[in-house]
Each structure stands twice: as C-alpha cells, then as structure tokens.
Amino acid sequence: MALDRWIALIILMICLAYGYTAFFTMDGALPPFMKRNPIWPSTFPKLLSVMAIFTALYVLLGLEKGAEEPKPMDINYRRLTDYKLGQALMLLGMMAAYALLLRPAGFLPATVAFLAAGAFVLGERKLHILLPIAAAAAGVVWYLVQEVLGIFLSPWPAILTNGG
C-alpha cells in the first residue's frame, strides 16, 4: 500500500475517534436550555469529522488517482530516506515545543520564535527580513484574536503578566 493510503488510514482512525466523541459524548453535559437550540457546540465537530472521514476514505480507496499510473513525483515509501525527513521531524518537534511554551513564554515571543525558527529550518537565511515578518505576523494574529474577536490571549510571558 502506498504511503498516501497509510496516512489516509491513520487519519481515518483519528477522525472516527473524533466523530464518536462529537456524536456520542460531547453533548451529554449540555444544560437543558441549550438542548433546544438548533446548533449545538458539537455541530461543527460533527460536520468536520464526517467530511474528514469521507475525504480519508476517498484517498484510502484510491478514487482520487483514477485509472492512471503513478507519476514519478508521487511519494515512494521505499525511498523515504531520499526525502527531507530531518526538516519534517524538526518542524514537528518545534510544533510540540511551541504548544508547550505558548502559555509560559507568552503568545508574541513564542510565535515569533516558532515562525523564525521554522523558516530557518526550511532554508530562509535572511534574518533581517525573516524576523520583522515573523514579528509582524505574530502581532497581526494577536491583534485580531485579542481585539477583533475579543478572546484574551496573553501576549507576554506569565512572569511579566501575573507575577509568576
């Protein structure tokens, strides 16, 4: 089985677990007045899980390829070491570190560091361009979330905002 189908199988299993949670366990603790609403907190997760399941099945069954032969640009799992796995694994590790450092480091420093380090890993070496763009992107996202959406997002480290 091709690598894309293995990935689709893994995504299908995750989506099935997510869909089970969305359909059967998410709405149990709803207050009575919310149970009469046409849209519940689980509506979007239900739609998302169903669409993801259909998409994963579409790839898993090979319907997206049709009757054509595999192209040379398709991922070949037998030659996995020919790809840039180091970069991919480094980015996955950085994503996990970003998620863990988001609260203690604050949104702005953690996001700027993640964006700059991620771009550096992917090959960008012009730090005089990279750092201002990362800072501007983090600032714009923080402003939109904080001011436009009204969701509190601590911009600075926890030590600076609440004393430790």
Distance CA 95, CA 7 (A): 19
Q: Is residue 160 a contact partner of residue 103, using CB atoms and an 8 Å limit?
A: no
Percent of the chain past pLDDT 70, that is, above it, reads 87
**Confidence at residue 69, expressed as pLDDT on a 0 to 100 scale:** 60
Cβ atoms 132, 138 nearer than 8 A: no
Q: Which residue do the tokens 């700059």 mark?
A: 116
Domain end among 62, 82, 102: 82
CA dist 44 and 21 (Å) reads 12
Answer whether residue 163 shows pLDDT above 60.
Answer: no
Higher-pLDDT residue of 110, 157: 110
Q: So what's the pLDDT on residue 98?
A: 94
Q: Does 91 share its domain with 111? A: yes
> Domains in the chain: how many in total?
2
Considering the domain architecture, whether residues 66 and 101 belong to the same structural domain is answered as: no
Whole-number Å distance between alpha carbons of 25 and 19: 10
Residues 58 and 94 in one domain: no
Q: Are residue 129 and residue 145 in the same domain, yes or no?
A: yes
Same-domain status, 91 and 145:
yes
Do both 76 and 93 map to the same domain? no
Confidence of residue 160 (pLDDT cuts 50, 70, 90): confident
Q: Please give the average per-residue pLDDT across 4-32, as a whole number.
A: 86
Verify that 76 and 90 share a domain, yes or no: no
What is the domain range of residue 147? 85-162
Quick: pLDDT tens for 38-76: 777 778 888 999 999 999 999 888 777 664 565 666 666
**117-155 residue pLDDT tens:** 999 999 888 999 999 999 999 999 999 988 888 888 888
pLDDT of residue 15: 92
